[in-house]
Amino acid sequence: MNEVINIVRAEYVKDYVLSLVFDDGTEQLVDFEPFLRSAQNPAIQSYMEPALFQAFRIEHGELLWGDYDLCFPMVDLYENNLLHLPASAQK
C-alpha cells in the first residue's frame, strides 16, 4: 500500500468488531479484541469496556479513540492485521 488511504466510514458491528470502509472502496470487518486482550498497557486495556470501545470516531480519515489514546497505523487496519501475523496465520 503506497498511496494515501483514508477511512470514510466506521460502524460498530458487535463486541469489539468494527466495519471499516476506505476511500478506495475496500471494506474490512476488523476484530480489535485480540489486540486489546494482548495489550500490556492499562490505558489500552481500558478499551475493553464496551462503552469506551464504542466511543470511536473518524478524524482526518483516521480511526481513533479519546485524545489519540488509541489509534492504529492505516496499513494495519487496511490489511486487517493488527497483531502483525503472517498471512498464513490470518483468517
Tell me, what's the pLDDT at 57?
A: 98
Residue 1 has pLDDT above 90, yes or no: no
Tell me, what's the pLDDT at 37?
A: 95
For domain 7-89, which architecture applies? 2-Layer Sandwich (3.30)
Give 44-91 pLDDT, tens digit per residue: 999 999 999 999 999 999 999 999 999 999 999 999 999 876 655 555
Tell me, what's the pLDDT at 87?
A: 58
Per DSSP, the residues of 20-78 read: EEETTS-EEEEE-HHHHHH---HHHHGGGSHHHHT-EEEETTEEEETTTTEE--HHHHH
Tell me, what's the pLDDT at 9?
A: 98
More confident residue, 22 or 68: 22
Whole-angstrom distance, CA of residue 2 vs CA of residue 11: 25
Tell me, what's the pLDDT at 2?
A: 59
Residue 3 has pLDDT above 90, yes or no: no
Q: How far is CA 28 from CA 8, 31, 52, 69, 75, in A?
A: 12, 9, 21, 22, 12
The residue ranges of every structural domain in the chain are: 7-89
